[in-house]
Amino acid sequence: MRKIFVIPLLVVLLLPILSACWNQKELTDLAFIMAIGIDKGEHKKFDVSFQIVNPGNVSSGQNGGGQGLPIAVYKSSGDTLTEAARKATKKISRRLYYAHTNLIVVSEEVARNGLLDIMDALDRDPEFRTTTELVVMRGGSAELLVSALANLDKMPVNKITKEIKVTEAMFGENMRVNIDEFLNGLVSQGKEPIVNGFKITGNKEMVGAANELQHTRTEAVIAADGLAIFKKGKLVGWITREKARGVIWILDRVKSTSVNIDWNGKKDAITMALLRSKTKVSVKIKNEKPVIHIAIEDEGWISEANTNVDLMNPTEIEKIDRLIEKEIKRQILATVKEAQKMKADIFGFGESVHRKDPKLWNKLKENWGDHFANLEVTVEVNSFTRREGIRTKPFWSDFNK
């Protein structure tokens, strides 16, 4: 008799937790947003472009997927991102879905006006991932970048995110910056945020054209181009080339790069490829003023020696190391001076001062930009050549005889 009452009771108790997927959505009802481009609007504050994946054209089954383009781009306008996104539904037959968004692109014009009015929407939406990468489009519209196609990657957005990852790992002039990291720099009193810059070179009229994918030589090339420097949420300038690498070096984000030095009167005759690097930033207080000390220790190998040099001679190797140290130090100091001109502490020196002496920081933080511009910075580099490659004697030794 007990079973007669117990079983119905268990069923009743389990019903509330067996509600299945109350917010279930069919895949065919969703538009997967892979990238968003934000430009200054003509009639509204923003023109927002949505890169939407076409699943049938990127699937990798036996038939190789469809023959159409992998993405479609729709544009909408609004005084806020929310308004623009909701107005876009007038043009799109599916519900916009942001869980797979990998990239936010803002135009240089929008960045110079400030990103404060767009960051809250990106940070607040629970469907949106704050690990999404943020980039600035140089000399063009964000719509252009999110509309571009790529030969090697089915999804164009992957071309950009992978390019940042690869250049960070191999060249050291860029680094991945997501929404979370930008916001952390934005609210910090002792550090300003940086963002990767991108540009499109070549024939821009070919951007988004289907026949661009039929060429072995791409006419419109998407390329990483420097670091955008922000202050109080507004773009104030750019740091490029070796100075951009200096930023990554100071932030201890360099994984690999190369350094050239002159030898025997020949410019850039020897190249050291970095194997590993470690940067430490410390603070000393001198006459009630902070002094920043940057210590870098790196190891590398000789990847090129386009001159007559004896790589088996320890004295020559030591001389190479000292020249490498001198060159790295020059690049680091040039980078610091460039940032000081903008009064933008992108290195987090202010945070280091705060940790070292909170009382002193309280006196300096209100006008930290001015203090940073006149900050004394010293650099110490210790470089070590660990390998010489598979050839210890360059052919130049015999060639010059």
**Claim to verify: residue 177 and residue 259 sit in the same structural domain:** no
Which of 195, 218, 239 is at the close of a domain? 239
CA nearest 133: which of 170, 103, 163?
Answer: 103
φ/ψ of residue 300, rounded to 5: -155, -175
Which domain CATH number covers 391? 3.30.300.210
Whole-angstrom distance, CA of residue 201 vs CA of residue 198 = 10
- Please tell me the predicted confidence (pLDDT) of residue 203: 65
Residue 3 lies inside a defined structural domain of this protein = no
- Of the three residues 208, 223, 239, the one that is the final residue of a domain is 239
pLDDT given at position 255: 86
User: Of 239, 261, 280, at which residue does a domain stop?
Assistant: 239
Within a domain: 141: yes
Q: Which of 278, 276, 242 is nearest to 260 (CA)?
A: 242
9 domain residue, yes or no: no
**What's the pLDDT at 79?**
92
CA-to-CA dists, residue 158 to 161, 224, 299, 396, angstroms = 5, 13, 32, 43
Residues 249 and 286 in one domain: yes
Question: Is 15 inside a domain boundary?
Answer: no
User: In terms of domains, do 233 and 187 share one?
Assistant: yes
What is d(CA 316, CA 83) in angstroms, rounded to the nearest whole number?
65
Q: How far apart are the first and last CA of the chain?
A: 107
Specify if 10 maps to a domain.
Answer: no
* CA distances, 345 to each of 163, 283, 337, 358 (Å): 26, 15, 11, 18
The string of DSSP letters for 121-168 reads HHHH-TTS-TT-EEEEETTS-HHHHHH---SS-SSHHHHHHHHHHHHH
Quick one: 399 and 367 in the same domain? yes
Give 22: exposed, middle or buried? Use CB within 10 Å, 0-12, 13-18, 19+.
exposed
Same domain, yes or no, for 276 and 290?
yes
Q: DSSP letters of 60-80? A: -STT-S-SS-SEEEEEEEESS
161 found inside a domain: yes
Cα distance between residue 257 and residue 349, in whole Å? 24
50/186 same-domain check: yes
Claim to verify: residue 74 and residue 95 sit in the same structural domain? yes
Rounded Cα distance, 326 and 332, in Å = 10
Domain limits for position 253: 242-401
275, part of any domain: yes
**Contact at 8 Å (CB) between 230 and 187?**
no
Closest Cα to residue 175, out of 145, 157, 195?
A: 195
Which amino acid would we find at residue 45? K
Q: Side by side, which strands form the sheet with 289-305?
A: 258-263, 266-286, 289-305, 376-387
pLDDT in tens, the chain (401 residues): 555 666 666 666 666 665 555 555 665 678 888 899 999 988 889 999 999 888 776 665 444 445 678 888 889 999 999 899 888 888 888 888 888 888 999 999 999 999 988 888 888 888 888 888 999 999 889 998 888 877 777 777 888 888 888 888 878 888 889 999 999 988 888 899 999 999 888 766 667 666 666 666 777 778 888 899 999 899 999 998 888 999 999 999 988 888 999 988 889 888 998 889 999 999 999 888 999 999 999 999 988 888 888 888 889 889 999 999 999 999 999 999 999 999 999 999 999 999 999 999 999 988 999 999 999 999 999 999 888 776 667 666 665 55
DSSP state of 225: E
91 and 213 assigned to the same domain: yes
What is the tally of structural domains in the chain?
A: 2
Query: Is residue 13 one of the residues assigned to a domain?
Result: no
**Do 51 and 100 belong to one domain?**
yes
pTM to 2 decimal places: 0.84
Nearest-angstrom CA–CA distance, 334 and 294: 13
Give the C-alpha distances (Å, rounded to integers) separating 128 from 42, 64, 95, 120.
27, 30, 14, 11
Comparing CA positions, the residue from 187, 179, 193 lying closest to residue 227 is: 193
DSSP state of 16: G
- Whole-number pLDDT of residue 235: 94
What is the reported pLDDT for 15?
A: 62
Residues in the chain: 401
Same domain, 68 and 132: yes
Radius of gyration of the chain (CA): 27
User: Are residues 212 and 143 part of one domain?
Assistant: yes
Distance separating alpha carbons of residues 52 and 30, to the nearest angstrom: 10
- 72 and 185 belong to one structural domain: yes
